[in-house]
Structure 1
Amino acid sequence: MSDVLLVLNAGSSSIKFALYEAHTEPTQECLICEGGIGSLGHRPHHKVVDRDGATLHDDYLPQGAGHDDAIAALFGWIEQRFPDRRIAAAGHRVVHGGDQFDAPARVDAGVIERLRSYIPLAPLHQPHSVAAIEALARLHPKLPQIACFDTAFHHRLPKLATWYALPRAITDEGVRRYGFHGISYAYIASRLPDVVGPELAEGRIIVAHLGGGASMCAMRARKSVATTMGFTALDGLVMGTRTGVLDPGVVLYLLQQKGMTPEAISDLLYRQSGLLGVSGISDDMRTLLASDDPRAADAIALFVYRIGREFGSLSAALGGLDAVVFTAGIGERSPEIRRRACAHAEWLGVALDEDANAAVSGAGRISRADSKVAVWVIPTDEDLMIARQVWGLLDGGREADL
């Protein structure tokens, strides 16, 4: 019987997963299958594909099935489909690790308690990660579970880059900049030497993780120097339904003058704003790009404008710029957004190759040969990065002592 590693990413109404061989440090070739169970609480749809995209399973769970039911169904399917394989460990994407977790952590009761304390800092994501961990612990209490944190990559940011100008007593309580999307940035950092070359990989690079959640990270020698998200995943760029950077005075105005409750403001900032709020149409960039509604054009323009502003800010933090990397759903798949974003960085020395930008598939350079700043697209793979972190923590996934 061979060992495998299970990667879980739990959301409010879905659980995504991937299964990897564990006989060696996982690579993309070690992926066995991936998929998810969506529409939890309604009529959950369970679909699984293999590494080549061929469908292995496509069915529905009973009406109203929730997270516990989905995890039980997923484990049942894996055990039935792969009877000669044993799940050695499960790795979870956890958005917030606070100021305590700077690396993946083996889950125990103390870790769960700490993760719960961070729920107010990441209300869109953290509750569901914790719920998935607890559900799996009930079903398989002896299975090692590893929490992998989106904040960990930024844990060693320069101290000044983490401060707000607040009284020190509040800062000492943990009110500081943390940064997010760290699992994605860690994966990109691991790919840089092979894709852009070992010399450039150690230079000054801005990575733009552009998706429903969006952020940018300034890296020097593949380490985080500055990033656009802060105390929570609300800060920085315009996102699908999140505001990005916002004058705190707006929150005070909504509280004091508009009479909104904290709960209503939280819902506004996390779920009703961003591309959806500005356009009034959709939080999906593809829908907005296809629309001739001027409100859609405004939302796109604001999204790109904020990227352009952050190019300047992050370049200043780096003391210059050698390369830009686009990644995540929009960054990887939208030549138009890449084109517009690069136009905002021409003053930094970016010269886009229009043909390469339109044609790139997978990892590739999209800047001209004479561009002072190299521009690349590198697809991210957070599931693979989690699998690698789990494998490394558990001594190759073998867990001889457990």
Structure 2
Amino acid sequence: MKILVLNAGSSSHKSCLFDLTQASDASLAPSPIWRATLDWTHAEGQVELSAETESGSALNQSLPITDKAEGIAAMLNTLVEGETQVLDSLSDIDGVGHRVVHGGRDYVDSVRIDSDVKAAIQRLIPLAPAHNPANLQGIHAIEAILGDIPQVAVFDTAFHAQMPAAAATYPGPYAWIDQGIQRYGFHGTSHRYVAQRAANLLGRDLADLKLITCHLGNGCSLAAVKNGHSIDTTMGFTPLEGLMMGSRSGSVDPGILIHLIRQEGYSGDRLDQLLNKESGLKGISGISNDLRLVIDAMEQGHDRAKLAVEMFLHRLRREIGSMLASLGGLDALVFTAGIGENSALIWQQACEPFAFLGLNLQDNLGRSAADQDIATPDSSIRVLVIHTQEEWAIAQACLKSCSNLP
């Protein structure tokens, strides 16, 4: 059983191939037997194609390709030709799972793609203009290349789709509800995976746990997970709400935006650029959207970098507190994604204010290739660092949704 996973973005595509016959333990993510990337950001009129196999064979080349579908075809060709060949034919692929950012209110789980699903992804483009068009283009490209193969959409929003109305509804005019203006939440595939993985590590049923999952990367979000469902999250109508992020502001007073429009003549496009690309760690530090570089500068005495790190931690602690209130208790706090999996400073500083709850961390914390529990044995709350496996989660969802697969 071979499942292809495609994450088609606006300027880069990532893909991998899983051989599920090698997965003996469904709770552990196997390594893909092949993975590849297309990146159009390096040079105009060119795409950088890289591919590698589990055995270590690799390919890196620049191609004169601007069309995304043509790029996907070239990428898939490395599955069946050259040193990165792992298949005899593309027909050996049994199904394809796609990351799709926005599923709106219609989709609460992964779904087999048909004409209605494609129409819904198209209809939701105004809510995810940077992502849904590329996701849909990837679906069409696979249809053209692989024909009538089962394809599954795995929506970032799906895990949060059953949030209570009080958590999902904005306190604006009631007409917003009919207009689809509500809190959707994102990073759902990651939150779902690490919540289930946390249950496995704790030897508990996910339905019996209260968890706060912290997806901290260039984009950051928290989820309050109760009885296996997301009941609250920090991102909202767009991925801009909530925590301070790499280059995104997170939540700000909307009055600031009104002020910039009225007093400074800002357009919608300028505000979009400002809030999504020029804010967050990058905007405050003036250095980078990469927390590692900002922390390095802070340790060298850079005042703006110090402020950026302190702000990041302040927002993180505050939002953890809000998720805690939504849950009414806590069994485990989970850190994942680039920052969440690797920064001992963030683990320590984020957890420190919750010592009054009996949360205690081990000394001499460090990164680990394995998922780990970093709380002391006597801590009343477990603190887990889990490597998110979104690609594997998409592959599993693809297998589950394609009930007619052998």
CA RMSD of aligned residues (A): 2.1
Instruction: Please report how far the alpha carbon of residue 197 of structure 1 lies from its aligned counterpart in structure 2 after TM superposition.
Output: 2.0
Residue 371 of structure 1 aligns to a residue whose secondary structure is coil
Name the TM-score, length of structure 1 as normaliser: 0.91
Change (3 A) 1:394 1:214: same
Name the TM-score, length of structure 2 as normaliser: 0.91
Instruction: Please report how far the alpha carbon of residue 362 of structure 1 lies from its aligned counterpart in structure 2 after TM superposition.
Output: 1.9
Instruction: Please report how far the alpha carbon of residue 230 of structure 1 lies from its aligned counterpart in structure 2 after TM superposition.
Output: 0.9
Distance in 2 separating the partners of 1:360 and 1:140: 39
Asked whether the 8 Å contact 1:192–1:201 carries over to 2, the reply is no
Instruction: Please report how far the alpha carbon of residue 73 of structure 1 lies from its aligned counterpart in structure 2 after TM superposition.
Output: 0.6
The aligned residue for residue 272 of structure 1 is 278
Instruction: Please report how far the alpha carbon of residue 105 of structure 1 lies from its aligned counterpart in structure 2 after TM superposition.
Output: 2.2
- Name structure 1 gaps, 5 residues minimum: none
Distance in 2 separating the partners of 1:38 and 1:56: 20
Q: Residues 121-155 of structure 1: CA distance to partner in whole angstroms, max 9, x if unpaired?
A: 22332232122222333333423321110111111
Amino acid in structure 2 at the alignment position of 1:278? I
Distance in 1 separating the partners of 2:34 and 2:208: 34
Residue 333 of structure 1 aligns to a residue whose secondary structure is coil
Distance in 1 separating the partners of 2:319 and 2:159: 19
Match for residue 308 of structure 2 among 288, 299, 313? 299
Q: Residues 61-119 of structure 1: CA distance to partner in whole angstroms, max 9, x if unpaired?
A: 32353422220111211133111561122111111110011111222333223212222
Q: Residues 185-242 of structure 1: CA distance to partner in whole angstroms, max 9, x if unpaired?
A: 1111221232122168722211101001110011112221111111111111111111
Do residues 384 (structure 1) and 392 (structure 2) align? yes
Distance in 2 separating the partners of 1:245 and 1:147: 29
Q: How does 1:111-260 map to 2 (within 5 A)?
A: 111-198=117-204, 202-260=208-266
Identity %: 37
Q: Size of the alignment, in residue pairs?
A: 393
Change (3 A) 1:24 1:360: closer
Asked whether the 8 Å contact 1:88–1:143 carries over to 2, the reply is yes
Distance in 2 separating the partners of 1:16 and 1:189: 24
Distance in 2 separating the partners of 1:185 and 1:242: 20
The aligned residue for residue 83 of structure 1 is 88
Residue 93 of structure 2 aligns to a residue whose secondary structure is strand
Asked whether the 8 Å contact 1:156–1:224 carries over to 2, the reply is yes
Distance in 2 separating the partners of 1:267 and 1:376: 35
The aligned residue for residue 29 of structure 2 is 28
Residue 167 of structure 1 aligns to a residue whose secondary structure is coil
Asked whether the 8 Å contact 2:51–2:60 carries over to 1, the reply is no
The aligned residue for residue 103 of structure 1 is 109
Distance in 2 separating the partners of 1:360 and 1:89: 33
Asked whether the 8 Å contact 1:8–1:91 carries over to 2, the reply is yes
Distance in 1 separating the partners of 2:231 and 2:167: 8
Q: Residues 344-379 of structure 1: CA distance to partner in whole angstroms, max 9, x if unpaired?
A: 332333211122x22543211111122222111111
Distance in 1 separating the partners of 2:29 and 2:73: 26
Distance in 1 separating the partners of 2:73 and 2:404: 26
Moved over 4 A (4+): 22-27
- Name structure 2 gaps, 5 residues minimum: none
The aligned residue for residue 10 of structure 2 is 12
Asked whether the 8 Å contact 1:48–1:55 carries over to 2, the reply is no
Residue 188 of structure 1 aligns to a residue whose secondary structure is helix
Amino acid in structure 2 at the alignment position of 1:217? A
Distance in 1 separating the partners of 2:171 and 2:228: 28
Change (3 A) 1:197 1:22: closer
Asked whether the 8 Å contact 1:321–1:348 carries over to 2, the reply is no
The aligned residue for residue 336 of structure 2 is 327
Distance in 2 separating the partners of 1:147 and 1:5: 13
Q: Which moved further from structure 2: 149-158 or 118-127?
A: 118-127
